[in-house]
Amino acid sequence: MSARREEDRPAALPSLSPKEAEILAHVVGVERFGLELVTLSDGAIRRGTVYVTLGRMEEKGFVTSRPDPAQPGVTLPRRLYRATALGEASLSARRVLRRLVARVAR
């Protein structure tokens, strides 16, 4: 029997951690900066980890970022983050899966 061709293999789903999901929920359709996410998450995301998590999410393609053009030039421009289409789709898929699992568990 011949080996399975590469294109026949199911594509791996992107992994989305609870913390990444929490961040995504706040940046769907809107741009926010890191400290804003800390405040909005009500303690679920901490100052010490939000930037590392955002950087990782950007590498995974869940969010995209750009410097804030409204920032005065005295300091560095703040970086604004927004969910990508992949991020939105992953978050939606996670929510659907959670609902299904909860229904089965009942």
In the complex, the residues that contact another protein under the rule CB under 8 A are 12, 15, 17, 33-35, 47-49, 51-52, 54-56, 58-59, 65, 71-72, 74-79
> 17 vs 92, which CB is nearer to another protein?
17
Residues whose CB falls within 8 Å of the CB of residue 10, separated by 6 or more in sequence, listed in order: none
Which of 65, 83, 80, 69 is closest to 32 using CA atoms? 80
> 43 vs 72, which CB is nearer to another protein?
72
Which of 65, 45, 60, 54 is closest to 15 using CA atoms? 60
| Smallest distance from another protein to CB 76, Å | 4
| Smallest distance from another protein to CB 74, Å | 7
60, 91 Cβ separation under 8 angstroms = no
> 26 vs 79, which CB is nearer to another protein?
79
